[in-house]
Structure 1
């Protein structure tokens, strides 16, 4: 995966429904603040910074340090250390669903903003910290 160079503002302006567009703007502000980086488009994903990952199997690739996607059904937050690493935050977050590496939020106004900030900060710290034995991560940008 690589940054596509598109305009984040133009992409967000076309996001529907309006609630998802509002949430995208909120997440951009939050992730910019946590990461100290500007948003970039990675296809339909809005990412901050970049890194190279390598699994013990030899599979490797590039990805943002932290990212989300404003999907029609929900905002998808990518939690690179896995949602299993955040049981306390997810228990207190508010209305959401989760998979192994993603948190899906239908309305950011209904979740605890401080818990969300903590979750984003911990996921970012994991990535810039180099990962773990399962995935080695090198910050590239």
Structure 2
């Protein structure tokens, strides 16, 4: 059975999605992140699935044969945290994380409670670097 990718670009309105955020501070952070990601990538924001705001896209194909599309970078203003989808090189992660500020991280995501908890200039570097790294890893 073929795998159906669940998270893909939609025509849903990014602004309507952000406007539906109930907490004013989280909504304000989401608007700030919209600007920041656009300024650092040059890509317009697009809704990926019901809750991820993505910038740019790339095609991936794994050795297993699984392939699909994903945003180069993005974020999701989830109820528990702002989830940032940025992925600098593995050997650079700790250097960035040590300078970023208060956050939690998994392999593919960074979680922050509010934008003021992190150093915006470091986050901007991470966004730019993530785009570079992903484009180099998955050339078109």
TM-score above 0.5: yes
Contact 1:32–1:38, Cα closer than 8 Å, also in 2: yes
Higher RCO, 1 or 2 (CA under 8 Å, sep at least 6)? 1
1:116 to 120, 123, 136: 123
C-alpha deviation, 1:79, in angstroms? 2.4
CA contact (8 A) 1:24 1:70 kept: yes
Gaps of 5+ in 2: 1-6
Corresponding position: 1:30 with 2:36: yes
Structure 1 spans left out of the alignment, 5+ residues? 132-136
Partner Cα separation in structure 2 for residue 60 and residue 39 of structure 1? 22
Partner residue of 1:71 out of 75, 78, 91:
78
Give 4+ residue runs of structure 1 displaced > 3 Å after superposition. 80-85
Alignment match, 1:17: 23
Do 2:89 and 2:133's aligned partners in 1 also have CA atoms closer than 8 Å?
no
Aligned-pair CA distance for 1:106: 0.5
Aligned residues: 133
Structure 1 length-normalised TM: 0.86
Quote the offset at 1:20 in angstroms.
Answer: 1.6
1:81: how far off?
4.8
